[in-house]
Structure formats: structure tokens, C-alpha cells
Amino acid sequence: MHATSIPEQACKEARKRLEQQGITVKDFALKNALHPSTVYAVLLGQKKCLRGEAHRAAVLLGIKDGSPTN
């Protein structure tokens, strides 16, 4: 069950941007000091992205406004 408040379209667009840049989800995660499973969960809409690492991942992926240091 999806628990996201992030629109599915925003997640799709973020995945597309990574693909266009030739960056894997794992590479993106490691480059930004994130756990790959968290980034995958954000992109699949399985996290609400309200705080912590999921929030940071969503901001860095460009699917949520805010500061990545929250």
C-alpha cells in the first residue's frame, strides 16, 4: 500500500531525470549519503517523506520543496 503524500507523477519524473542523466538510483543514493533502499522507497511512493532521510531524499530528487538538511 502506498503511503505517500508525494504525487505519483513527481516520482515518475524523478526516475526519468535520473535515467536521462545516466545515474542509477544506487549511485544517486551513495553520492548523497543516503541508503539506497530509502531512495527506492521514495521513488516508489512507499514513504511519506515527512522527515529524516526520506524527506532529504525527496528534496534532493526534486520531488519535494524544502531543505535537504531537515
| C-alpha grid cell, residue 60 | 534532493
pLDDT at 4: 45
Task: Indicate the pLDDT class of residue 16, thresholds 50, 70 and 90.
Answer: very high
Is the pLDDT reported for residue 24 higher than 70? Answer: yes
Cα 37 to Cα 15, 28, 41, 45: the distances in Å are 14, 11, 6, 12
What is the pTM (predicted TM-score) of this model? Answer: 0.86
- Residues 54-67, mean pLDDT to the nearest whole number: 93
Is the pLDDT reported for residue 56 higher than 90? Answer: yes
| C-alpha grid cell, residue 9 | 507523477
- Residues 64-68, mean pLDDT to the nearest whole number: 85
pLDDT at 66: 86
